[in-house]
Amino acid sequence: MAVFALIDFVTSAVASHLWNPVITRMIYLIEKEENIGKLDSTIRNLEARKQEIQIRLMNSERKQETCNPEVAEWLEKVAAIESEVSEMKHGQRKRRAQSFSYWSNHETGMQAAKKLKEAEMLHEKGSFKQVSIEVPPSDCNLSRVLQYLKDDRVGIVGVWGMGGVGKTTLLRKINNHFLVVNEDYGYDLVIYAVASKACGIGQLQADISERIGLFLKPGSSIETRASVMLSFLRRKKFLLLLDDLWNYLDLAEAGIPYPNGLNKQKVVLTTRYESVCGHMDAHSRVFLECLDQENAWKLFKEKTTEETINSDPRIEKLAHAVEEECGGLPLALVTIGRAMSTKKSCHEWALALSFLKKSRIHEIPNMGNLGQDKQIKECFLCCSLWPEDYSIWKVELIDCWMGMGLIEYDTMEEGYNKGYSIIEYLKDVCLLETGYLEDSEVRVHDIIRDMSLWISSDCSKEHMKWIVQAGLGLYNISNTDIKTFRSARKISLMCNYITELPPALNCPNLQFLSLQQNFRLKAIPPSFLKSILSVTYLDLSWVPIKELPEEIGILVELQYLTLKQTHIRLLPIAIGLLRKLKFLDISYMDFLEKIPYGVFTNLSMLQALNLYGSRYAGHEADFDPANHMDYDEFRVEELPCLSLGITAKRVSTLQRLFDVPGVHLRCLGLYELNGERSLTLTLTESIFVLNVMGYSDLEDFCIMNKPQCYGDHLSRLEFLTFWDLPRLEKISMEHLQNLRVLTVGRTYQLVDLTCILKLPYLEHLNVSCLPIQAFRQLRILQLNSLQSLDRLCNSKLDFPSLEYIDAFACPRMKKLPFGQMGKLKSIRGEQTWWDNLEWDDESSFLPLLPFFKSSEICSASFRPELDATVISSSPKAFFTKRQPILNSSVRFTSYPQSIFETEEFDGHMKME
């Protein structure tokens, strides 16, 4: 039976394939005459509809509107099918004169059926409500010139306007118009030629003759060539498109007959000067204006792309500012728009805006500045100075580049924007990748780092310029190492266990030395400093030395010095001898007791001083300004013009800081301002970080901007922290349009935080209580020690940008209010809390399950992405995963000590 079934199936299939085409052909023959009749009727209807549309288009032209592209395409298809049907009918008439042919009649019937179907579809699509659209300015100018070319009274048309306004583009459109449009203007020749400043008559003659195919004898004079060209062109109807004319040109001398509109001989010229149009006796003139704001933004957005404009809410505002700086000039809009089309960082846009305002457009990345290549290469090589697989804090990396003189800038803000721009470029070309903390860190792939070290070491064992032994677990510097170091220009020994430095290195060419994060190193020998006299960059951060030798003053080439997180008690007065010093970082120095008076006064080249996070308060002591000899400690009035980070303990100090001319506060800490219950702080535009902490009496805190900060000069404040403020009841904030990270903790009386609803670009929120609403930019949410909190809100909210959630010591919170979270990476909390959560249904539980990570420890001093296991693991893990952040309220100095001075640490060292 199966065999018969198979035979039946095959027979049916063969019969179908043989029979169906026969039936189809018979239908074509039977319905041929009927289909031809229907086709004639449909074509007549199409013709009527076409004429009606053409009349509507003629009326639209008077309103300076142009044909809708969809309508233009329809008209082309109608013209094509009219031609095809006419040709088909002509062929049918020829075949009728011959004997009957089955195949020819079948072919005619098949064609008629297909064309009828196409014609009916075209007629159906031809019912357009709107046949024209508003003419863009450039197309409007094109229409004007084309109208002049139809006017026999016009021989020369002069197009003029400033450079970059679109004159050459318009001339090319005119040229292309005659290449693609069949409209008959009656020209035998359309000639495009450039008559720029550098182009003489001889070159112009050669260009024109080449385009018209006229042979000119080599070596012949200008006069002879002109005679030959005149004789040839007088007999032709021509249109000469002459671009970029700077001065009067005698057409006859060049071999061009004077244009006579009646004889269809015309010239369209472009120039920057209306006077040239006058000297050339232009019969009609077209002035090209810059685009109005609406059309300028439309063009700029088209070249920049919607994707880039919408990639960050802050970019659109900066993009509008960049577009306005272009002044409606199409060339600038197109060129800069294309250059910025891949820039999705607000720092890159701020930098571009800065360059435009200073007329330094060539310095905008992607604008073809060859000098950037060398700068970017050197910046990239510096990334290899950190240990393998190390997540480098972006700010620290940029500080390094600026400290090494790799970035030129007018202001610190411009310097940081340049640095962020370089980082984005290096990420785009895959030389850098995102770090452990995606938004604030980068790292170099191991293979890329090896290549970088090979390049920076001069590819030769005999003459190594860079020595990088970062993160290798070194306990000391051997004599062999010292011999190797002698020819080095840069030495990185960061993240090691070095306990003692040698008496000397003897590196006469050394420029860069980093000893940061050697937590067991307790002293710097004076003789060691004497052996590195040429050094310009010295990093001793996170090294627990208690004093800095006076011999630091002999490093007269030093430009960058960081003593961040050291245990130094007295800043040596010899630092005042470092006359070339530009950057001095003495932040987070908890043990600093004194900075001598006059140290900073002598540092005439100092650009940046960072005292932020240091609890030194000597600069706030009461003194008699008239007799500073009685005051032997640093005071804020002696600060030169610089970028400043500082922590203050008195309200009076704030006013003194704001009154110092030329000081740009970048990081400001307010610590233990006891006695004041209410405080209103008026921010300067330059403040980037603000930290308010340990203020036991404060009940009401208000942040305002200076009046000039409104509008386009909003505060740059991005990081804001309120910590350990037990009586704080109210926080008021206005116009903090750039705030990205807000931390509020240990504020036991604070019950109202509705002010955060005015923070449109908030990304990271760490709070003690929160009447939450939707935050489209919120990336990080931390909930800590909220014993009474049972819910965040009554309904589910979408958090499209939320990536990390921390919930610790929140035993009463039984439900998560989260709706859509397309970017979620981690939920961290105690296992008991997670197990006791209540869910509406399985569909709300299962999508979140893969993201939960159980942890019993909440480390408030670290970002939520940091594994809690790092705290109890080896120091080596600490090197690559620790990250103190600018806005953090937690002290870091004691933390490394607790790790590196334990018995476990000693045991770990022995195992290594």
pLDDT digits (tens, 9 = 90+) for 131-162: 765 545 557 888 889 888 888 889 999 999 88
Sequence-separated (6 or more) residues with CB below 8 Å from residue 517: 494, 495, 496, 541, 542, 543, 879, 896
**Whole-Å CA distances, 287 to 66, 142, 170, 334, 519:** 20, 12, 12, 20, 71
pLDDT of residue 369: 54
The answer to whether residue 519 is domain-embedded is no
Number of domains in the chain: 4
- Asked if 144 and 283 sit in the same domain, the reply is yes
Co-location of 283 and 147 in the same domain: yes
Length of the chain: 912
Whole-angstrom distance, CA of residue 115 vs CA of residue 120: 8
Gyration radius (Cα) of the chain, Å:
39
Residues 149 and 272 in one domain: yes
Indicate the average pLDDT of the chain: 79
- pLDDT tens for 749-803 read 887 777 777 787 787 777 754 644 456 778 888 887 776 677 766 667 777 888 8
- Judgement on whether residues 174 and 275 belong to the same structural domain of the protein: yes
d(CA 341, CA 301): 9
Residue 581 lies in a domain: no
Q: Are residues 182 and 242 in the same domain?
A: yes
Q: Is the pLDDT of residue 747 over 50?
A: yes
Q: How far apart are CA 314 and CA 306, in angstroms?
A: 14
Looking at the structure, do residues 24 and 113 belong to the same domain, yes or no? yes
C-alpha span between 328 and 333 (Å, rounded): 7
- Report the distance separating Cα 226 and Cα 203, nearest Å: 12
- Asked whether residue 27 is domain-assigned, the answer is yes
Same domain, 183 and 259: yes
CATH of the domain at 270: 3.40.50.300
> Is residue 666 in a domain?
no
Which of 136, 440, 181, 468 has its CA nearest to residue 295? 136
Domain boundary among 242, 271, 287: 287
Residue 327 has pLDDT above 60, yes or no: yes
pLDDT at 885: 35
Same domain, 100 and 183: no
Domain contains 61: yes
Q: Which two tokens stand for residue 285?
A: 């003139």
Q: How confident is the model at residue 532 (pLDDT cuts 50, 70, 90)?
A: very high
The two most distant CA atoms of the chain are separated, in Å, by: 127
Domain boundary among 409, 431, 459: 459
- Domain range enclosing 431: 374-459
Best CA proximity match to 744, nearest among 736, 755, 734, 735: 755
d(CA 766, CA 889): 12
Say how far apart CA 744 and CA 203 lie, in whole Å: 73
Tokens coding 134: 């508003």
Is 646 within the bounds of a domain? no
Angle at 834 between CA 832 and CA 835, to 5 degrees: 65
Lowest mean pLDDT across 434-438, 579-583, 846-850, 894-898 = 894-898
Q: Which residue has the higher pLDDT, 632 or 680?
A: 680
Contact 692, 723 (CB under 8 A): yes
> Is residue 877 very low, low, confident or very high in pLDDT (cuts 50, 70, 90)?
very low
**Does residue 415 lie within any of the structural domains?**
yes
Other Cβ atoms less than 10 A from the Cβ of 400: the count is: 24
Give the single-character DSSP code of 292.
P
Residues 339 and 380 in one domain: no
* Residue 748 lies inside a defined structural domain of this protein: no
C-alpha distance from residue 298 to each of 320, 364, 597 (Å): 11, 21, 58
Looking at residue 223, its pLDDT comes to 92
**pLDDT value for 775:** 63
Which of 134, 154, 180 is the endpoint of a domain? 134
- If asked whether residues 18 and 115 sit together in one domain, one would say yes
* Co-location of 229 and 130 in the same domain: no
248 and 386 share one domain: no
- What is the pLDDT at residue 203? 86
| Alpha-helical segments (H) within 63-150 | 69-96, 102-125, 137-150
How far from chain centre, in Å, is Cα 534? 38
Return the CATH number at 406. Answer: 1.10.10.10
